[in-house]
Amino acid sequence: MVERGYDVSFRLIRVYPPLSRDDRFYIVLPIDRHMAAMSVGFSKLCSVCSNFDVRILLLTAESQPQAAFNDPSAPDSLEGLRPALFKFFKQHENLLSLRSSARECDLCRSIWQLYAALTHPAELQDEAISQGLSAQQIWIGTTAWDEALHGLPHLVVTQHAENRSMRILASFEVCALRGHEPLDNNKLLARSIFPNSGSDGCLRLASDLLTTCREGHKSCSSQYPTQTVLPTRIISTRGPNPKLVDGAGRQDTFAALSYCWGGDTTFKLTKDTEAQFRAGRPIADFPATLRDAIAITNS
């Protein structure tokens, strides 16, 4: 018996209310990637979706036998590849039924909106979705995944034709809300998104992931050593006034920032400004992008 419920969400963008009062599942609609507001309350589910248990789906996906797959072009062989489990839960019998249910069911609405967003309007008319592949049974299952490569089973909604062709209607990532992670099988869940990418928790996570990558992954540590030859010139971020220093001939750890200047600016390294940069300039003089990069580097 776990002390905390299996509290998860289907994540991409906007978190919807829990799917049930007992399990507190959440839906997320990947329609507008700029939206991240969480609503309060409980989701409405149709009679079909109320019988769907994402916890059982993930545990079933994990129980699938591993199948080794060696790819010479990949840094690591997929020795722990688990196959896709497309036909796990029978959802609505066809797209017409799904569209009708989408008026009242949050999960059906999520699936329908995802499918409609990537489909030509002519293919969404009654006649089009009443025949062919659109008239086939809708299934909820999982994609193939490899735990050894830090993969996770993603929830996927599909339709299958008699000739074995398949269409993906929607896909979701399943994650635990921060502070509500289950005590069992947490490895099957993704992390929920931090509301602020500059928060202490987010920066600690980034630091931990970078450390794991550099120290725990053989292929990464061989390609990206802890110390390497520095560029000709580099910004020292130590102290209140970052300054330009020579890096040629030295070995150390550095971070590289790739970004666009953003139009005309006077904050450039030229012969006239080199002395100022070498003496050190107040952090307030730096553009916001560079200030953020310096803060992350120092953290």
- Which ranges of the chain have pLDDT less than 70? 1-43, 68-79, 148-150, 176-177, 180-181, 261-263
Q: Hey, how many other C-beta atoms are within 10 angstroms of the C-beta on 115? A: 24
Q: Which residues contact 71 (CB under 8 A, 6 or more apart)?
A: 77, 78
Tally Cβ neighbours within 10 Å of residue 88.
18
**Cβ-count burial of 13 within 10 angstroms (0-12 exposed, 13-18 middle, 19+ buried)?**
middle
CA angle 261, 262, 265 (to 5 degrees): 70
* Residue 68: per-residue pLDDT: 58
Predicted local confidence at residue 103, as pLDDT? 92
97 Rama sector, left if φ>0, alpha if ψ -120 to 50, beta otherwise = alpha
Specify whether the CB–CB gap between 172 and 152 falls below 8 A. Answer: no
- pLDDT, residue 98, reads 96
Residues paired with 69 in a beta bridge: 78
Whether the Cβ atoms of residue 146 and residue 74 lie closer than 8 Å to each other: no
Q: Is 169 helix (H, G, I), strand (E, B) or coil?
A: strand
CA distance 92 to 94: 6
Task: Record the tokens describing residue 172, joined without a space.
Answer: 């979701």
- Residue 9: per-residue pLDDT: 40
- Dump pLDDT digits (tens) for 237-285: 988 899 999 988 888 888 888 877 666 778 888 899 999 999 999 999 9
* Nearest of 94, 113, 8, 92 to residue 46 by alpha carbon: 92
pLDDT reported for residue 134: 94
Tell me what pLDDT residue 71 has: 52
CA distance 18 to 58: 18
How far is Cα 136 from Cα 153, in angstroms, rounded to an integer?
A: 24
Q: Which residue has the tokens 């196959």?
A: 83
pLDDT for 93 equals 96
How far is Cα 189 from Cα 150, in angstroms, rounded to an integer? 11
**Torsion region of 231: left, alpha or beta (phi above 0 gives left; psi -120 to 50 gives alpha):** beta
